[in-house]
Amino acid sequence: MEASRKRKFSNGLLYVILAALAVFFILPVVFVAFTALKSNADLNAHSFYSFPQELMWSNFADAWNRIRKYMGNSLFISIVKVPLGILVNALAAFALTRLRFKWATGMFVFILIGMMVPMQATLVPLNMMLNAFDLNNTYPGIMFIYLGFGIPFGVLVLRGFMLAIPKELDEAALIDGCGELGKFFRIIVPIAMPAIATLFILDFLATWNEFLLAQIFITKDSMQPITAGLLTFQGQHSTNYTLLNAGVLLSILPVMFVYVFFQKYLISGMVGAVKG
């Protein structure tokens, strides 16, 4: 009886803590929504945290007209780069875990070293490389950079998950006549789908929100992603905060859609990666 009471108290305390954390993280979004629904006069006359005096839904239409081309650019980059990056990471993780070669562990450590290299330290050599191959201000150029920076973490997640897949399945696949690619696509990929879905969410979020590299290597306004497009609400002497906040809310919709679609795989994918 005493143990049951303690368990109920612990569960109740946990729920209270989780509810407090949820409110803590949701409040900034609520205040952004309040600002997005105000007029400029309302924003200047009242507190940032106050409820709008009049709901200005037209702010979202105006913001959409300003940023829709930038959202299209980001969507194109993300749709092409993220699946390509996952394929490269999965093939690398497959080779490190299922193929037998002498330097597999050393190769994995070498890949992980990429996570320790500061992005800022690579800007000059990357600029020289893209200029040499005439890839500045091109989508293939920026995707190539994103792909390179994403490999260490992607391989880390997928390798850990693939290590937990029983090796007996490899033998069964070989008996059934599968080659290495057949084993990869028919056995390993379906089993590793939770980790792949997890990586898809994280990689999509990172690609969608990336700002520094896009600002440096994509200078044409017609090609810039949404992170650069939000800067159009900032003028030389003032910033239109109502439209900016409306644009911010619109810009997170694709990320929310991806998260909601794949979230059921998120926890199981990360648990598998940690176990490996």
- Whether the CB-CB separation of 157 and 269 falls below 8 Å is answered with yes
C-alpha closest to that of 159 among 123, 211, 126, 112? 112
Which phi and psi (to 5°) does residue 239 adopt? -130, 135
- pLDDT at 236 (0 to 100): 67
For the chain, the domain total comes to 2
pLDDT in tens, 196-226: 988 999 999 999 999 999 999 998 989 999 9
Same domain, 185 and 84: yes
The domain that holds 88 is classified in CATH as: 1.10.3720.10
Comparing 1-10, 221-230, 265-274, which segment has the lowest mean pLDDT? 265-274
Q: What percent of the chain has pLDDT over 70?
A: 93
State whether 108 and 245 are in the same domain: yes
Q: Report the predicted TM-score, pTM, of the whole model to 2 decimal places.
A: 0.85
**Computed from CA positions of residues 150, 152, 155, 158, in that sequence, does the dihedral angle turn out positive or negative?**
negative
94 occurs within a structural domain: yes
Question: Would 20 be classed as within a structural domain?
Answer: yes
Average pLDDT of the chain? 87
Segment holding 162, helix H or strand E: helix 139-163
pLDDT band at 269 (very low <50, low <70, confident <90, very high): very low
* 3 inside domain: yes
The answer on 105 and 47 residing in a single domain is: no
Shared-domain flag, residues 183 and 248? yes
Encoded amino acid at 89, one letter: N
The token pair at 100 is 């037998």
Please indicate, yes or no, whether residues 71 and 141 belong to a single structural domain of this protein: yes
Instruction: Decide if 215 is inside a domain.
Output: yes
Structural domain of residue 22, as residue ranges?
1-56
Over the stretch 136-148, which tens digit does the pLDDT of each residue have?
A: 999 999 999 999 9
Return d(Cα 85, Cα 144) in angstroms, integer.
9
Boundary of a domain, candidates 56, 74, 101: 56
Task: Determine, yes or no, domain membership for 125.
Answer: yes
Q: State residue 273's pLDDT score.
A: 43
Query: 177 φ, ψ to 5°?
Result: 95, 15
Q: What is the mean pLDDT of residues 187-193?
A: 89
Q: Specify if 229 maps to a domain.
A: yes
Q: Do 103 and 221 fall within a single domain?
A: yes
CB 80 within 8 A of CB 143: yes
**Is 115:153 a contact under the CB 8 Å cutoff?**
yes
In a domain, 61, yes or no: no
Q: What SS3 class is residue 137?
A: coil
Average pLDDT for 5-18: 80
Measured in residues, the chain has a length of: 276
- Asked if 99 and 45 sit in the same domain, the reply is no
Helix (H) or strand (E) holding 134: none
163 with 43, same domain? no
Same domain membership, residue 193 and residue 238: yes
User: Could you tell me if residue 181 is inside a domain?
Assistant: yes
Same domain, 36 and 87: no
